[in-house]
């Protein structure tokens, strides 16, 4: 019974995340934002941030996201130092249909 419960929670957690993961990528460009309540960025070698917006390389981070300032800091430092990062998306659209960022990590 214990195995069943563990397996159930593992399957449920894997089904709840539908985003993309881009590993070992360098920041190409950062756009600080415009009339939309987000800032945007692109990664080198990524032509599609997430299938939610096919053939679009832009990632969106809503300013309302609790960690938006931290994400911007990581992106700027990674860009300046040419350090690769890992970016995951939520699988949902944000800011006029662009790929919403879930997480950004140093590698």
Percent of the chain scored above 70 by pLDDT? 84
93 burial via Cβ count (<10 Å: 0-12, 13-18, 19+): middle
CA proximity to 86, closest of 20, 14, 18, 10: 20
User: Does the pLDDT at position 7 exceed 70?
Assistant: no
Tell me, rounded to whole angstroms, the distance of Cα 62 from its chain centroid. Answer: 11
Q: Are 91 and 52 in contact (CB under 8 A)?
A: yes
Query: What are the pLDDT digits (tens) for 56-91?
Result: 999 999 999 999 999 999 999 999 999 999 999 999
Tokens of 51: 């299938």
- What is the distance between the alpha carbons of residues 83 and 43, in angstroms, rounded to a whole number? 12
Domains in the chain, start-ordered, CATH in brackets? 19-106 (2.40.50)
pTM, to two decimals: 0.82
User: In this structure, what DSSP letter does residue 18 have?
Assistant: -
- What is the distance between the alpha carbons of residues 43 and 47, in angstroms, rounded to a whole number? 8
């Amino acid at each position: 019974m214990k195995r069943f419960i563990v397996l159930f929670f593992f399957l449920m957690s894997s089904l709840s995340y539908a985003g993309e993961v881009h590993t070992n990528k360098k920041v190409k460009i950062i756009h600080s934002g415009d009339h939309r309540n987000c800032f945007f960025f692109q990664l080198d070698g990524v032509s599609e941030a997430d299938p939610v917006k096919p053939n679009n390389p832009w990632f969106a981070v809503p300013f309302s996201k609790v960690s938006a300032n931290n994400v911007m800091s990581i992106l700027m430092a990674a860009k300046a130092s040419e350090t690769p990062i890992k970016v995951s998306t939520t699988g949902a659209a944000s800011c006029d249909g662009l790929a919403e960022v879930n997480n950004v990590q140093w590698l």
